[in-house]
Structure formats: C-alpha cells, structure tokens
Structure 1
Amino acid sequence: MTVSAQGESIQNEVAYGIEYDWSNLDDDFDSLTGINLNEILSRTMLAATDAGLTLTVAQLSTGSSNIYVESAEDRTATTIEIDDESHSVWTRATDVTIRHAVLFDSALVTEWIDSSGSDPTGFDGYLSVDSENAVAVDVNMIEYLDDDYNLYGIDMDFSLASEVSVEYQMDAGLEGAGEEFDFALKFGTGFDLNVPEATAEWRLGEKAPFFPVVSTYEDVEIECADDAALTTSGSEADLKIECGTLEGDYSVSTGFTFDLSDIPTENFGMDAGLLDISISDEISSTGGWDTDMEDFLEADDDDDESDDHHDESDEHHHHGDGDYHHEHSGDDEST
C-alpha cells in the first residue's frame, strides 16, 4: 500500500483548543457550588485557636490542561494504492495535542501544649500530601478522500506519556511526664504508562460515502458487507461498505514505584531503617496486527454487548455483525 503526492494546495484550515488553569480551582469550585473552601479552612483554624490549639491547614493546586486540534485539507492530486489498484485522492490531516500537568499540595501543622503542671504536656504534628499527574498525547490522523468526499482509508499515528505520583510525609511528637516520643513516616508511590509509538492503517475495499450520507440523512445505518451499496428512504439511509483491512504496530511500557522510609524503628528496639522499603518494576511490549476491519468491529461489538452499563441512547453506538447507527438533528456539512 503506497501513497504519492505532488504540489501543494491547502484549504479549509481549522484550529481550536481549550485550556484550564488549575490555580483557579478554588474560585471555580466556589462559583459552581457556592462552597468557599478557603473560608471553611479559615473558620476551622479560628475554631482551633479558640480551643487553645494551634492549627494551620493549607492547600494549593497548580498546573494546566490543554487540548488543541488542527485540521487542514490538502487538495494536491494524490494517488493511493489499494489491492494493487491506484485511486486519485486528496488528504485531510488532523492533529490532536493534549497536555496535562497538575500538582496538588496539602499541608497540616498543629501544636498543643499544656504548661499548667510541673511537666509540660502536649503534642505537635506535621502532615503533607503531594500529588502530581501528567499526561501528554499526540494524535495525527490522515484521511484519504476524493472530490465527492468519499473515504478510501485512514492513517493514524499515536503516542502517549503519562505519570501519576503521590507522596505522604508525617512527623509527630508527644511530650508528657518528662518523656518525649517522636514518630516520622514517608510514603510514596508512582505509576507510569507510555506508548512511545503506535500506528494504524485502514484501507477500505471500496470507496465509502461516509460524510455525504451522514450529513444528508438524519438516521443512518452503516454495516460491513461484501458488496458496497446505499439504500435510502425519506430521511433514513442504509449504507453497506467494504470495510477492508486494518494493520499497524505499537510499543508500550508501564512501570511503578513504591517507597517507604523514615520509620523510627530504633524507638521500638529495632535497627534503624529496618522497615525502609523500595520497590520498582517496569514491563514493556511491542507488537503489531493485521486483520479484517469487519472482524475488528465485531470483536468490539461483543465487548459492548457484555457491558451491563451499555447506553442504548448513545448518539453513536455499535450493533451486532459490525453495524453502526448514526442519528443527528439539523443540517451537517460534509466538509
């Protein structure tokens, strides 16, 4: 399967995106629910002060989430080869970029002392929780279309890098009867999932008028068949397509870490650091696939049918035997 192109003629360029700044989380939560978290924390600390207890609670969120989509049609004359037969097409490229990185920090500091007796009695403590998660996704999709917006195939490149980590740290002390006892603990865990590269290439057995049919009719049934055909009745359409083949390859890795340290084992008559633990592991895999698209869709249908939470009211949903159903209201544009 080969693709060749000559010249350049870009049309219908579209770009849009959304962004969220996580430092606005408290204000947005207040606007949506009417609950002011900072005011609740302030009142809690004042109540503790009235009770003779020193208490400081703080929390902070930073980072951002971004999704950007860019799409453009390249009307350059291009040929795509399917089953040793060349077809004249042009391409539409769509790039999806997702970037997400957030850090949540929380801390609690408290202290209470009773100095009324001959020996002071009290306690103090510190607790912090830090959570970090990051996701980066890149998707590049190329559709092969003719001047009537018939679809011949799709190429897709995909990559993913993600990481989640949480760290807890606690330090506490007790004092009374002339004795002191201190306790500390640090615990951290992390998980990552990465897909450095994944590619997929879908070639239909025959051109399919997906976009013209979906934009013209309100109720569309789409299913795989040996012979392509289109049957219409009023606002309904039954589209049979030669689903063709799907092939691709991938590489994926996943790993985790677990750390436990700073437990004062010496206070319990054990050697220092005896309970310190550090565990990590990573698994990676590479592979590929080459299958009939109809078999791929039927396998997906079987998974949907076994899902007890399948929603029959979904706008797009699968049916048995590789069927698809599409409904829309209003007039869609095929472009």
Structure 2
Amino acid sequence: MFVSRRKYEEKDAEVRQLEVKLEEALKRVELLETENSDLHSAIETATNQQVSVTESVVVKCLIDALGQLEGVRETVLHSYERINAESQSIVNINELFSESASTLNKIVSDMSGLNVQMGSMSERISGLSTTADNINKFVTTITSISDQTNLLALNAAIEAARAGDAGRGFSVVADEVRALATETNKSATEVSELVNGIIQSTSKAVSGVNELRGNNEQLETGINQLNGSYESMVQHCDSMKSTISEGAMATFIQTVKLDHVVWKSDVYAVMCGYSNKTAADFSDHVNCRLGKWYSDNASTAIGQTAAFREIDVPHAKVHSSGIAAVQAKQNGNNTEADAKLIEMEQASERVMTLLDRLIN
C-alpha cells in the first residue's frame, strides 16, 4: 500500500511538472504567435512600403523619360522647318522654270512668225527678180531696135550722100536718128547693167533669206526641244514639290503630336509632385503650335477637310481638361483631378486620330 501511494505521488508530481511545462509551452506558443503576427504585420508593412517606393521610382523615371521627348520634338521640328524651307525653294524653282517655259514658247511663236515673214519676203524678192528679168528683156528688145534704127540711119545717110544736094536734108535727119539710136543704145546698155545688178542682188538676197530661214528653222527646232526639256523639268519639280509638301506636313503633324505628349507629361509631373507649375503656366489650345497653325490655315484647302474642322473641339478639350486637373490637384480635389485626367486622355486620343487623318 505504501509503495503504491509513493508511486502515485511520484506520478502526480510528474503530472504536475508536465502541466507546468505544458502551461509554459502554451505561453511560449502564445508569445510566438504574437511575435509571428507582429512579424507578419511588419513584413506586410515593409512590403507595402517597398511597393510604394518602387512605384514612386517608376513614376519618376517615366516622367523623366517623357521629358526627354522635348529633345526629340525639337529635332523633328528642326527637320520640319528645313523640309518646309526646301519646299518653298522647289516652289520658287518651279515658278522660274514655268516663266522660262513661257518665254521659250513666246520665242518659238515669234520665230514661227518670222519664218512666215521671211518666206513672204523671199517670194517678194523672187517676184522682183522676175520683174527685173522682164525689164532686161524689154531693154534687150530696145537695144535690138536701136541697133536696127542705127543701121537704117546709116543706110539712109549713104543714100542721101549719093543723092547729092537733093539728099542733104535727109542726110541731116539720118545723122540725128543715128545719134538718137546711139544714145538709146547707150541708155539701154546702162539700164541692162543696172537690171543685171538688181537681178544679182535679188538672187543673193533670196539666197541669204533662204539660208537665214533654214537657220531659223533649226533654231526653232532646238528651242522646241529645250522647251520640251523645261516642261519635263517642271513636271518633275511638281512631283518633287508634292512629295516634299507631303513630307513637311507629315513631319509637322509628328511635331504637333510630340508637343501634346510633352504638354501632358508636364501635367502628370504636377500631378505626381515633380513639378511646381501652376494652371497659369500651361498654354491653352489657341496659343500652342497646333492652335496657331489651325488659325492660320482655316481658309486654305486643308482647312476645308472634315478632319481639320473636327479637330478644334477635342483639341480644346485636351487643354481645358489638363489645366482643370492641375487646378483640382492644387485645390486638393484628387477625385476631380482624376476625372479631368481621364477626359484629357480621351480627347487626346481623338486629336491623335484626326491628326493622322490630316496626313492622309
């Protein structure tokens, strides 16, 4: 009996020790659970802080990257200005070629008229030569008659001498007739020489006019060929002008797109606390590059397109919403700021679509 109680007491003591140890273990488990909960909270807090830090860095880098677009925009703008200047040079060259072609056309027209006049002149000179030939024939006839008259007068003088005193008066008349025939023959010879000179001169004149006419026709042919080359160059210049104009327009549109991306990046920089700009520092839709271009081209051909007419409303919305978002942020109204940013992006997407339609 004694042994059993002792064993019981020993077992009871062991149980009590185990209960104490169990209680201590439970307390330690409870403490560990508390520490684990605290550690989990600390880890979660640290994780959230790390995510917040990471997002902050990403946003900062994104805004810095968008800021670099300003340099790209300036490069594209410089390219546009150069292309636009070259386009104007092509226009000037094209006008010069057109003026030259018009001048050549006038020269060709004048030369054609000159050819007609020279042909008419050649015909008139040839007619003069024919008239001179006829005169020469008449002179030859007169010379022949004069020679016959002189011969008859000589015969009459001989017969008058045979008649003696009875033929003296007739002899005087015969001498006068011979003298007149001689003078007529002399005058006819002079006229013949003069007419022959005229014939030779007219022949040379006709030859010279024909030669000049031939040279003029060759020159006219050469100028026609040159004019054809000018017209071909004008066509090429027109094609170049069209290509350069399209390139200039496309470059300008890309510049305007970059303008709006940079403008919006400035808005986001304010929203994220990386910029001290106020709403007054942001340009409205009238004073930005696109707004000024829109105002200057309202009456041009591109100003009559549907895309041009539609772009003004969403463009104004981009600026007004962005400025309103900045103002709301400065007033501490983040909900309003978020709503305005969404409106700005929706309007910006529409502006980009319409700008692409303007290029096409």
- How does the TM-score come out when normalised to structure 2? 0.19
Which has the higher Rg, Structure 1 or Structure 2?
A: 2
Higher strand share: 1
Q: Which has the higher contact order (CA 8 A, sep 6+)?
A: 2
- How does the TM-score come out when normalised to structure 1? 0.20
